[in-house]
Chains A and B, each alone.
Chain A
Amino acid sequence: QLQLQESGPGLVKPSETLSLTCTVSGGSISSSSYYWAWIRQPPGKGLEWIGNIFYSGTTFYNPSLKSRVTISVDTSKNQFSLKLSSVTAADTALYYCTRHVLASGFVVSYYGMDAWGQGTTVTVSS
């Protein structure tokens, strides 16, 4: 059974870089059937998409975060990672990693985010 597990510091100082890793178990990250994504949720608020990555390294980012975000993949470790630079209190959130299913066919489409990690809370504070 596929499992995703986020890991990383729970506390980050303002202006520093937030770094999280998602470890995928029970399945290969090197599959052409999936993208891998980061989602976040500020306390008491809704969900925000951060970015997607394919095992080849192709990435898509939220424009609102693009200048500060880097998502990378390490297929040898079956992991993908998030780096968010110059953080502020507004980046305090619950961060989730997810699997985004690619539909088969000639037109690129998706079948939703079918697997999620349990989430990890990151607080930005001095």
Chain B
Amino acid sequence: AIQMTQSPSSLSASVGDRVTITCRASQGIRNDLGWYQQKPGKAPKLLIYAASSLQSGVPSRFSGSGSGTDFNLTISSLQPEDFATYYCLQDYNYPLTFGPGTKVDIK
């Protein structure tokens, strides 16, 4: 199975900060990666699919990049509602695997 790692595991940031989260796959996965945001007590929400495509309705401050094994999720200007945990998911092949998550909290 493809292993997904994320860094950092947590970060503290201020409103307005630029934040970048990294996801790394144990083998190449083309661009078959999505990013999900989860707030406490809520289901995950798809932000980015196919590594860099913005899901409909998601603010443009979210962007994704990368291909192969290394991927980034960037929030250009952190907003209060962005404090959450972020997960990557590879859907290149089965079994699908999630990263362990990155918790973004308020500095």
Contact = CB atoms under 8 A, between A and B. Distances in A.
A47 B97 CA distance: 9
Interface of B: 1, 30, 32, 34, 36, 38, 43-46, 48-50, 53, 55, 87, 89, 91-92, 94-101
Given A116-B45, A119-B43, A109 B98 contact: no
10 contacts: A47-B87, A49-B96, A52-B94, A101-B49, A103-B50, A109-B91, A112-B89, A113-B44, A116-B44, A116-B45
A60 B34 CA distance: 19
A26 B46 CA distance: 19
Interface string A18-53: 000000000000000000010100000011110010
A42 B94 CA distance: 21
A118 B43 contact: yes
Q: Taking chain A's interface residues, is the majority helix, strand, or loop, or is none over half, making it mixed?
A: strand
B46 A113 contact: yes
Given A46-B101, A63-B95, A113 B32 contact: no
B89 A113 contact: yes
A96 interface: yes
A104 to B, nearest CB: 12
A112 B46 contact: yes
Q: Taking chain B's interface residues, is the majority helix, strand, or loop, or is none over half, making it mixed?
A: loop
Interface of A: 37, 39, 46-49, 52, 60-64, 96, 100-101, 103, 109-114, 116-119
B8 to A, nearest CB: 15
Contacts of B96: 37, 49, 52, 62
Contacts of B55: 112, 114
Nearest to B45: A116
Contacts of A63: 1, 95
B95 A112 contact: no
B1 to A, nearest CB: 7
Contacts of B46: 112-114
B97 A111 contact: no
Nearest to B31: A109
A60 B89 CA distance: 16
